[in-house]
Chains A and B, each alone.
Chain A
Amino acid sequence: MPERLRQALPSVLSVLLALAVCWSLIALTMTPGTATAAYVEMLWGGIGNWPAWLNGAAATVITRPLGEAAMKAALLTLTGLSVAVAFKVGLFNIGAQGQMILGALAAAVVGAHVSLPAVLHIPAALVAAALAGAAWAGLAALLKLYRGVHEVISTIMLNWVALRLVDNWLVIGPLRGVAEGGQSITGTAEIQATATLPRLLGELSRLNLGFPLALLLAVVVWLWLERTRTGFETRAVGLGAEAARTAGVPVAKRTGVAMALAGAMAGLAGAVLVLGTEGRYPGTLGAPYGFDGIAIALIGNNHPLGAMGAALFFGVLRAGGTRMQLLDVHKSFPELIQGLALLFVAGRMVWLALLRRHEAAASVASVEVPRA
């Protein structure tokens, strides 16, 4: 079996097992028919209801679900990249959520309070978000490099600082949007039209520029890690900091840059959320995509393209999952599938052992070194 396939297999099997377990759970609490119907609903809600379209329904039965799935996939890809990049340099970035919050706020402020033509406004807001996220992650990197504070501790704590700072003060205090006649509104002022990410299919769906941007970044990050000297050095630091230092790699610099890049990715996720669909920093920022990023990165085996693949899959699942409610299936099942998949991926060694035994049984003499 090719090495690359072997690496991906535990993730795929874990996801399939999670799907099977959740199907059984629904089937046990309701009926097998309902469980199957719910999965089919979820599929149509994620990739579009093709049968309905072929039966003559409007194109929106396909474009809307695809747009929602793409939107979620874009956010998950970016936060997944954030965690994966930090992993490559040997850091566990639990702080993607906080970095995303800062990025979202920066995008909302630049989007609302700066006047520029669209060609400059969108990049300006995106860059601001990336810088904000990078700065927030940079704090954790500085603490790590100069004070030896473990990044897991510092990023978790910085998440809370970000949440309190932004959600509990800035957004309801100095930056709160004001409506005419003193109507109460939630969140910051609405961003200007020039800062809104253009929709790729117009009125047909909410699919916007954020999706191709996320895919592009995944490929760029992958190329950087695999095909450049600095990327190689970054991976070398992750595999063994002391060995890398001995070999002349500037460990502190690579660590700082990788962590800042991780923060920038999470910050961009916030920007895509604000500039793409919300139009402002909402009263409370969306689902915890930053924490989902950890799951996405792990299921994607900390590979940029793996994270992208996992994000696409779970984007479809999450977008379609809402439809399960139409059959009175609880709204939490898509998250449950993701959580179970993560749990099974964590049992990676078990999968690998099982696979090895299977191959041994097939009497294929393997000379590959087992990977942890």
Chain B
Amino acid sequence: MLRLHVLALAALLCACSKKEEPPPAGAPGTATAQQPAKAPIPVGLVIDVGGRGDHSFNDAALRGLELYAAGKRYEGGKYVDASPEEIRQSLPPFLASLSSSIQPLPVKPMVLQSKAQEDYAPNLQLLVDQGAQLTIGNGYMLANAVRTAAQENPKSQFLLIDSQVLDAQGKVLKLPNVRTVLFKEQEGSFLVGALAGLVTKTNKVGFVGGIEVPLIQRFEVGYRAGVKTTNPQAAQALMAVYTGSFNNMAAGKQVAQDLIAKGADILFHAAGADGIGVIQAVKEARAAGKSVYAIGVDSDQSHVAPDAILTSMMKFTDLAIYQATKDLVDGKFSAGEQVVGLKENGVGMAEVRVDFPNKAEALQKVDALRQRIVSGQLQVPAVPGDLATFQAAAP
């Protein structure tokens, strides 16, 4: 009886709003590879509270799914088709060759921005319920939410960027429907370190980290190894400081000012928003007549301060997301742990846009090192313990 009433009410509601159930969404739970060939495959992405337009981590993920995978651009709340030219422009020069292999796939992006930490799990679940065959959690903040969603939806596939899945005791958990992608930050950091060793005039370089966790230590260790390879003297005097946060610009700026006062002329940061403070400090020091550079992180941060940024250590989460989407479309998606470095285009050094003496020669040397890492001749250490024994012939 009650059900009948509800039915009547529902019929009434449906009558006044025919649009609320868009046909492509389909009935939840039936979206396993039985789509007709032409219907786009729904792929979900949950980004964190930073939201769209952070010029960094979230935008990279959106680029991977929307621009690369779906061939769309998000404009004024709608998707418009993007031209191949836009894809080419979004890639750094040394990856320009990839632009031909990035072809739009028949996927429909479904993006949910989260308003709070506790929204991650329901947002992932909602995308699964909406028929997403692959649901992407962008960033290690979503690790727990992905664990919950993957366990509750064993038939759906998940991709987790930048973290493994951990259980309640902090042990690594292997789930049959989750692919995790980790990046060899040390390899990209090695290259920017090698460049810093070649460019420094004071033979003093600095590193500003955020919170001293293993992830950030990988940046420092790779950087140290790179400096040691091209400039052993500067490696001896390398100064590394951790601010203890990722969202405190003032702390980053203060630390950077200290390092500059102590004579460092190149500062590499891996400190999130604190790093913006580092770049500011460098910018101000340059305005005061000092010849100092900052090295950006994650994205090409050159646009933040074009004169002051020597280069950036880039993490290609966009390409990792494109690859996973392509694997899904090709029916080759596999769970498991991916670790990507220079060789797999997981990390890299951004284009050097500033001028300094012997630029061409320095870039040549760095590229030689890059090739040695790619070919496997050179193993970059990832943990502080391996640093002491690390030796690499100067290029």
Residue of A51, A60, A61, A273 contacting most chain B CB atoms (<10 Å): A51
From A34, A50, A285, B117 is in contact (CB under 8 Å) with: A285
* Contact A29 B170, CB 8 Å, known A40-B20, A277-B121, A287-B115: no
Q: Report the Cα distance A29→B113, complex, angstroms.
A: 20
Say whether B143 faces chain A, with CB atoms less than 8 Å apart. Answer: yes
From A71, A168, A325, B248 is in contact (CB under 8 Å) with: A168
Which residue on A lies nearest to B122, using beta carbons?
A: A68
Say whether B331 faces chain A, with CB atoms less than 8 Å apart. Answer: no
Say whether B33 faces chain A, with CB atoms less than 8 Å apart. Answer: no
Instruction: Flag if A182 contacts B140 (CB, 8 Å).
Output: no
Closest Cβ of chain A: how far from B264's Cβ, in Å? Answer: 25
Say whether A339 faces chain B, with CB atoms less than 8 Å apart. Answer: no
* Contact A58 B117, CB 8 Å, known A36-B17, A184-B140, A279-B144: no
Which residues on the B side are within 8 Å of A189 (C-beta)? 170
Question: Which positions 283-316 of chain A face chain B at CB distance < 8 Å?
Answer: 283-287
Closest Cβ of chain B: how far from A197's Cβ, in Å? Answer: 13
Instruction: Flag if B170 contacts A180 (CB, 8 Å).
Output: yes
Closest Cβ of chain A: how far from B128's Cβ, in Å? Answer: 10
Closest Cβ of chain A: how far from B274's Cβ, in Å? Answer: 12
Instruction: Flag if B28 contacts A179 (CB, 8 Å).
Output: no
Q: Report the Cα distance A55→B248, complex, angstroms.
A: 51
Q: Report the Cα distance A368→B216, complex, angstroms.
A: 67
Question: Which positions 58-113 of chain B face chain A at CB distance < 8 Å?
Answer: 77-78, 110-113
Instruction: Flag if A44 contacts B77 (CB, 8 Å).
Output: no
Question: Which positions 314-347 of chain A face chain B at CB distance < 8 Å?
Answer: 319, 322-323, 325-326, 328-331, 335
Instruction: Flag if B19 contacts A325 (CB, 8 Å).
Output: no
Q: Report the Cα distance A181→B169, complex, angstroms.
A: 12
Instruction: Flag if A206 contacts B122 (CB, 8 Å).
Output: yes
Instruction: Flag if B244 contacts A173 (CB, 8 Å).
Output: yes
Which residue on A lies nearest to B170, using beta carbons?
A: A179
Q: Please tell me the size bucket of the interface on B.
A: 35 or more
Q: Report the Cα distance A151→B126, complex, angstroms.
A: 42
Say whether A80 faces chain B, with CB atoms less than 8 Å apart. Answer: no
Q: How many A-B residue pairs have CB under 8 A?
A: 136
* Contact A50 B118, CB 8 Å, known A168-B248, A184-B140, A325-B113: no
Say whether A120 faces chain B, with CB atoms less than 8 Å apart. Answer: no
Closest Cβ of chain A: how far from B333's Cβ, in Å? Answer: 23
Which residues on the B side are within 8 Å of A54 (C-beta)? 3, 6-7, 10
* Contact A30 B77, CB 8 Å, known A184-B214, A278-B117, A285-B117: yes
Which residues on the A side are within 8 Å of B54 (C-beta)? none
Question: Which positions 1-53 of chain A face chain B at CB distance < 8 Å?
Answer: 29-30, 33-34, 36-37, 40-41, 44-45, 50-52
Which residues on the B side are within 8 Å of A335 (C-beta)? 115
From A57, A68, A177, A328, B28 is in contact (CB under 8 Å) with: A57
Which residues on the B side are within 8 Å of A182 (C-beta)? 213-214
* Contact A190 B7, CB 8 Å, known A172-B245, A323-B126: no
Which residues on the A side are within 8 Å of B214 (C-beta)? 182-184
Instruction: Flag if B117 contacts A185 (CB, 8 Å).
Output: no
Instruction: Flag if B126 contacts A183 (CB, 8 Å).
Output: no
Closest Cβ of chain B: how far from A36's Cβ, in Å? Answer: 5
Q: Report the Cα distance A327→B217, complex, angstroms.
A: 41
From B20, B113, B169, B172, A37 is in contact (CB under 8 Å) with: B20
Which residues on the A side are within 8 Å of B143 (C-beta)? 185
Closest Cβ of chain A: how far from B198's Cβ, in Å? Answer: 31
Closest Cβ of chain A: how far from B196's Cβ, in Å? Answer: 25
Instruction: Flag if A58 contacts B29 (CB, 8 Å).
Output: yes
Q: Report the Cα distance A76→B171, complex, angstroms.
A: 34
Instruction: Flag if B112 contacts A325 (CB, 8 Å).
Output: yes
The 8 A CB mask of B137-176 against A (1 = contact, 0 = none) is 0001101100000001000000000011010111110000
From B27, B122, B170, A57 is in contact (CB under 8 Å) with: B27
Q: Please tell me the size bucket of the interface on A.
A: 35 or more
Question: Which positions 68-86 of chain A face chain B at CB distance < 8 Å?
Answer: 68, 71
Q: Report the Cα distance A273→B49, complex, angstroms.
A: 17
Say whether B123 faces chain A, with CB atoms less than 8 Å apart. Answer: yes
Closest Cβ of chain B: how far from A130's Cβ, in Å? Answer: 20
Say whether B129 faces chain A, with CB atoms less than 8 Å apart. Answer: yes
Instruction: Flag if A282 contacts B117 (CB, 8 Å).
Output: yes
Which residues on the B side are within 8 Å of A277 (C-beta)? 118, 121
Closest Cβ of chain B: how far from A48's Cβ, in Å? Answer: 11
Say whether B387 faces chain A, with CB atoms less than 8 Å apart. Answer: no
* Contact A50 B215, CB 8 Å, known A278-B117, A279-B144, A322-B126: no
Say whether B363 faces chain A, with CB atoms less than 8 Å apart. Answer: no
Say whether B125 faces chain A, with CB atoms less than 8 Å apart. Answer: yes
Q: Report the Cα distance A179→B163, complex, angstroms.
A: 12
Closest Cβ of chain B: how far from A51's Cβ, in Å? Answer: 4
Q: Report the Cα distance A183→B143, complex, angstroms.
A: 12
Instruction: Flag if B248 contacts A181 (CB, 8 Å).
Output: no
Which residue on B lies nearest to A41, using beta carbons?
A: B20
Instruction: Flag if B116 contacts A287 (CB, 8 Å).
Output: yes
Closest Cβ of chain A: how far from B130's Cβ, in Å? Answer: 7
Instruction: Flag if B170 contacts A284 (CB, 8 Å).
Output: no
Which residues on the A side are within 8 Å of B329 (C-beta)? none
Which residues on the A side are within 8 Å of B164 (C-beta)? 183
Q: Report the Cα distance A277→B121, complex, angstroms.
A: 9
From B115, B130, B166, B213, A326 is in contact (CB under 8 Å) with: B130
The 8 A CB mask of B353-378 against A (1 = contact, 0 = none) is 00000000000000000000000000
Closest Cβ of chain A: how far from B319's Cβ, in Å? Answer: 22
Question: Which positions 308-351 of chain B face chain A at CB distance < 8 Å?
Answer: none
Q: Report the Cα distance A29→B16, complex, angstroms.
A: 21
Q: Report the Cα distance A50→B5, complex, angstroms.
A: 11
Closest Cβ of chain A: how far from B342's Cβ, in Å? Answer: 22
Question: Which positions 192-240 of chain A face chain B at CB distance < 8 Å?
Answer: 193, 203, 206
Closest Cβ of chain B: how far from A119's Cβ, in Å? Answer: 21
Which residues on the B side are within 8 Å of A286 (C-beta)? 116-118
Question: Can you report 14 residue pairs joining A to B where beta carbons are below 8 Å apart?
Answer: A36-B17, A40-B13, A51-B10, A57-B29, A64-B122, A182-B213, A183-B214, A184-B215, A193-B168, A278-B117, A279-B144, A287-B118, A322-B119, A322-B123
Footprint of A on B, CB under 8 Å? 3, 6-7, 9-10, 13-14, 16-17, 19-21, 25, 27-29, 49, 51, 77-78, 110-113, 115-119, 121-123, 125-126, 129-130, 140-141, 143-144, 152, 163-164, 166, 168-172, 211, 213-216, 244-245, 248
Q: Could you list 12 further interchain pairs (A-B, Cβ under 8 angstroms) beyond the known A51-B10, A52-B21?
A: A37-B20, A51-B13, A168-B245, A180-B172, A183-B166, A183-B170, A185-B143, A185-B166, A190-B168, A284-B117, A286-B118, A322-B122
Footprint of B on A, CB under 8 Å? 29-30, 33-34, 36-37, 40-41, 44-45, 50-52, 54-55, 57-58, 60-61, 64, 68, 71, 168, 172-173, 177-186, 189-190, 193, 203, 206, 273, 277-279, 282-287, 319, 322-323, 325-326, 328-331, 335
